Amino acid sequence: MKLILASNSPRRKQLLEDAGYKFDIIVGDYDEKAFTDNPVITAKTFSLGKAQATFSILKDKNVLVLGADTVVYYNGKILGKAKTEKEAFETLSELSGKTHKVITGYALLGEFGKKQGYVETEVEFNRLSKKLINEYIESGLYKGKAGSYGIQDGFPLVKCYKGSLNNVIGLPIETLKPIIDELMK
């Protein structure tokens, strides 16, 4: 059985490689626009949609397709990926000094059916100066990231977190590894 990652995320790719997996990256066409206000439902729906979109285009069905989606949730709303520097500035300013949740939904699909779940981590931000926020935005590292940040980017944005660091990066590999290993047997 072959493992397929249904994501172009360099962070997810790196986490899977670091866990020792050999896999292909194949991304089907999935529209992430129809989300709800519920971060768990959104993350699980998107992860399953991504996995199904990839599984449906594969000729060889002797595969295990992994779909994942990470959302940042604060103050009753999902904070998506910033489209502009202004949006990134607003998001990072809003998170400054506050605690938010990072939820990654995952879906594993194969001929066996599907396995789904999610992991949630609490993240507390440092109080961020406008100067630090602007330096981070100027680095371009906010692009393509839920909540407009990456905990791994080398900037002192995060004060502390409770839960999985890998989840905040984009893939809770410590939760997924035993499931993947069992399904790949």
Contact status, residue 149 vs residue 136, Cβ threshold 8 Å: yes
Pairing of strands 113-125, 99-110: antiparallel
Dihedral class, residue 140 (left if φ above 0, else alpha if ψ from -120 to 50, else beta) = left
Task: Report which DSSP code applies to 129.
Answer: P
pLDDT digit string, tens, across residues 52-95: 999 999 988 899 999 999 999 999 999 989 999 999 999 999 99
pTM: 0.93
Q: Where are the domains of the chain?
A: 2-183
| CATH ID of 2-183, from 3.90.950.10, 3.30.413.10, 1.10.3720.10, 3.40.50.620 | 3.90.950.10
pLDDT digit string, tens, across residues 18-50: 999 999 999 999 877 766 789 999 999 999 999
Neighbouring-strand partners of residue 180 = none
Residues with a known catalytic role:
69
| CB neighbourhood size of 160 (10 A) | 10
